[in-house]
Structure 1
Amino acid sequence: MAEIDHIVVGARTLEEGADYIEAQLGVRPGKGGSHPGVGTHNMLLSLGPQQYLEVIAPDPAQDTPPHPRPFDLDDPAVKLMLEAGPHLLAWVARTPALDAVAARLGPSQVGEVRSMSRGDLTWRMAFPPQRQDMGNLIPPLIQWDDGKGAAPRLKKSGCKLLALEAEHPDAEQLREVLRQRGLEEALKVRRSPHPRLVARIARPDGAEVALRSG
């Protein structure tokens, strides 16, 4: 059974991303690390025992990677959007059976399964082919090699992911795609003229904040 692993906020720099999250949630993300060969680095914030928020940005210490950076960070439209400020970009779903899902749906839907690492954390991940992710509402799939991942390692922040919601013009098709990945219960889907991801998060002071991708 797949489930929400983390949500992703993109930024031009980690400093900008951390400032944005601190302003929104009242807590600053902690140090993450570099993704060798991927061209990115990150900071992390716990959203509960099993979920977290990732701030991701291009890593100036790395050469240009052989593949496009994840979460469309190299896309001109995304780069322009991030010029105006950090933004919720996507979500990632955790599965214990990545190979089985990839074999059943095929690379044209799941994407290429790639090995990745950060420090002593290792995992495999598959990103939906570009322009086939329904506005970043179909999540990349991740399988952590230790079966646990980053979330249990993070210091409690007092923040909690309350709900994840998706809006799309073809809500039924999105529901079906999520169902094929075992994610029909992961988030609420509703019809809307434009694709949008909404993450509802409780701050440590109890206030609710909504981060939106559009």
Structure 2
Amino acid sequence: MAEIDHIVLGARTLEEGAAFVTRLLGVKPQPGGKHEGAGTHNMLVGLGPDCYLEIIAPDPSQPEPPQPRLFDLDDPATRLMLEAEPRLLGWVARTPSMDSVMARLGPRGGTVREMKRGDLAWRFAVPPQRQDMDNLIPPMIEWRGERAGRHLHDSHFRLTALEAEYPEDEALRRALDERGLGAALKVKRGPHPRLIAHLHGADGAEHTLTSG
């Protein structure tokens, strides 16, 4: 069974993303690292041992990548949106068996890549471009050994719900079910694609991140 691994907040720069999260949640994101060859880098906020918030932005120290950056960071509409403020862009789902998922999905599952940074190693598969239903269909990750969330300080915030709105809600449900994610995301029909994350703090504070 697949499940939510982390949610992804996009920003023009990591500095802008970190400042936004600090203002919103009152916690300071931890340094993450570079995604070599992908043209991005990140910072992280622990949401308990099994989930985290990733802040992702283009990495100016890397050359332009051969493929578009993840989560539509190169898309002009996304860039324009992030000029106003950082926004929730997507999410990543964790699976214990990438091979079985990819065998079931075939080409629709994307290409599996082996990745490593420091002591962390993982396999990652991104849906083919423009087949992700506006980032509502998540990339899949299979951790090799301990996963990133176990290395992060606990912010004492928890992801209590992740919701999606989509004009073709039944098609989205079917795509999620194929990946074993039918219970991970609450789906309802809406005029525009939208992802909504609900965060709950230990002090009772409630915050919402949205993609639009």
Work out whether the TM-score is over 0.5: yes
Tell me if 1:209 matches 2:191.
no
Report the Cα distance in structure 1 between the residues aligned to 2:66 and 2:133, rounded to whole angstroms: 24
**Structure 1: runs of 5 or more not aligned:** none
Which residues in structure 2 correspond to 1:120-131 (within 5 Å)?
A: 120-131=119-130
Tell me if 1:73 matches 2:73.
yes
Secondary structure in 1 matching 2:68: coil
- Give the structure 2 partner of residue 55 of structure 1: 55
Runs of 4+ residues deviating >3 angstroms? none
Report the Cα distance in structure 2 between the residues aligned to 1:98 and 1:14, rounded to whole angstroms: 30
How far did 1:119 drift? 2.5
Report the Cα distance in structure 1 between the residues aligned to 2:67 and 2:133, rounded to whole angstroms: 21
Contact 1:5 1:93 in 2 (8 A): yes
Aligned residues with identical type, % of pairs: 64
Report the Cα distance in structure 2 between the residues aligned to 1:145 and 1:198, rounded to whole angstroms: 29
- Give the structure 2 partner of residue 2 of structure 1: 2
Question: If the length of structure 1 is used for normalisation, what is the TM-score?
Answer: 0.96
Farther off after superposition, 114-123 or 183-192: 114-123
Contact 1:26 1:203 in 2 (8 A): no
Report the Cα distance in structure 1 between the residues aligned to 2:61 and 2:119, rounded to whole angstroms: 19
- Output the amino acid matched with 1:5: D
**Structure 2: runs of 5 or more not aligned:** none
- Give the structure 1 partner of residue 158 of structure 2: 160
Tell me if 1:31 matches 2:42.
no
How far did 1:66 drift? 1.8
Superposed CA RMSD in Å reads 1.1
How far did 1:184 drift? 0.5
Secondary structure in 2 matching 1:106: helix
Question: If the length of structure 2 is used for normalisation, what is the TM-score?
Answer: 0.96
Which residues in structure 2 correspond to 1:125-164 (within 5 Å)?
A: 125-146=124-145, 148-164=146-162
